[in-house]
Structure 1
Amino acid sequence: MNHSSLPKIPWWKKTTRLIAEATLFAVIFYGVISWQQRNMLATGEQLPIEQLKLLNIQGSVTKYQLNQSEQNTLIYFFAPWCKVCDLSIDNLEKIYQKHSKNLLVLAIVLDWQSLNEIDEFLNKHQLSMPILLGDNNTRNQFNINGYPSYYLISKDGKVLARSRGYSTEVGLQWQLKLNDSI
């Protein structure tokens, strides 16, 4: 069959179909994101703790005041076995490198079996941001049920933004600008 013999579809029908498909994609994408975040702490919610007190990777107790801070805090929860964490943590490191003067960035490792497992992950990525060792209590306090999970916390301890899954450096920067954190 010759292509010239096919009826031409008007441009407005093509455009209408494209808009409908893009809208459907956006609705599905938003639905998946909302479903993933359904059990996380709500935006605008006060954190259930005022102070974060965990061991760092050197074995020292580290304390961070989350409700009376001088700057906003970005907390990234990850597991060393998580492939998405493996792909996204370098984006977080770039954010830390660019904004550590006006944003506290913390990475909390959860769901780990041994310190060797954590060391291998950290050596692979050469991270300079603070790494803290979380536990089941930490996971429960922040309602973490998947990795990676992020919370952007205000100076007064309220959840400004949250996310679960892969985030690009651009996506993280956009979220920080949206919430006046950088």
Structure 2
Amino acid sequence: MSKKKRLVMRTAILLLLLSAIGYTLYANFFTSKELVGEGDQAPDFVLKDLEGNEVRLSDYKGKGVFLNFWGTWCEPCEREMPYMENQYKVFKDQGVEILAVNIQETNVAVERFKNKHQLTFPIPMDRTDQVRQAYGVVPLPTTILIDENGEIVKKDSGQLTEAKIKEYMEMIKPK
């Protein structure tokens, strides 16, 4: 093969690679991956908690729902859990519920975590990862605020402060 043909072939391959990289960057950074967002109806789900009871989101219609996705191995999740528990004690009698959806972990690990932090709110177990995927949750922790009508008010990824949790619970407290 002549030098000219090799140069043309290498240039074509380089252009193809650059287009693939460009498309990948565009798809990852400039297109929305959100399956649900503010103003959407929250997708209903049914999960089992640590005791084997069914937890159905639609059963909480009429209440504000602080839907938190987390894992025991996630340090920011662990740091915000005591804040969530503190605010749950304040807001549960005001019509706000916390559903702390654990992602694909064993009952033993979650039970140990729950006892360590003395958590009293429901912990549904997303064993198949379907609920996390339905909500388009990528980083943990992610919190989705749902109002009393089942509408998504806000989605927040990352660790929350106690002040932010209180603010969010005030936002979804039924009027």
TM-score, L = length of structure 2: 0.73
Distance 2:108 2:172 in 1: 38
Q: Quick one: which of 110, 133, 152 aligns to 1:140?
A: 133
Alignment of 1:73-88 (within 5 A): 73-88=65-80
Task: State the one-letter code of the partner of 2:132.
Answer: R
Per the alignment, do residues 154 and 124 of structure 1 end up closer, same or farther by CA in structure 2, a change over 3 Å counting? same
Distance 1:160 1:131 in 2: 21
5+ residue gaps, structure 2, are 1-28
* Residue of structure 1 equivalent to 2:61: 69
Distance 2:46 2:104 in 1: 18
Distance 1:118 1:180 in 2: 27
1:98 aligned to 2:82?
A: no
Alignment of 1:30-179 (within 5 A): 39-40=33-34, 41-47=36-42, 49=43, 51-65=44-58, 69-101=61-93, 102-112=95-105, 114-134=106-126, 135-177=128-170, 179=171
- After superposition, the C-alpha distances for 1:106-128 in whole angstroms (9 at most, x for unaligned) are 1110032x222212211211100
- After superposition, the C-alpha distances for 1:60-90 in whole angstroms (9 at most, x for unaligned) are 2232316x71111111110111111111111
5+ residue gaps, structure 1, are 1-34
1:97 Cα deviation after fit:
0.6
TM-score, L = length of structure 1: 0.70
Aligned length: 141
1:166 Cα deviation after fit:
0.8
Q: Tell me which protein shows more helix as a share of its residues.
A: 2
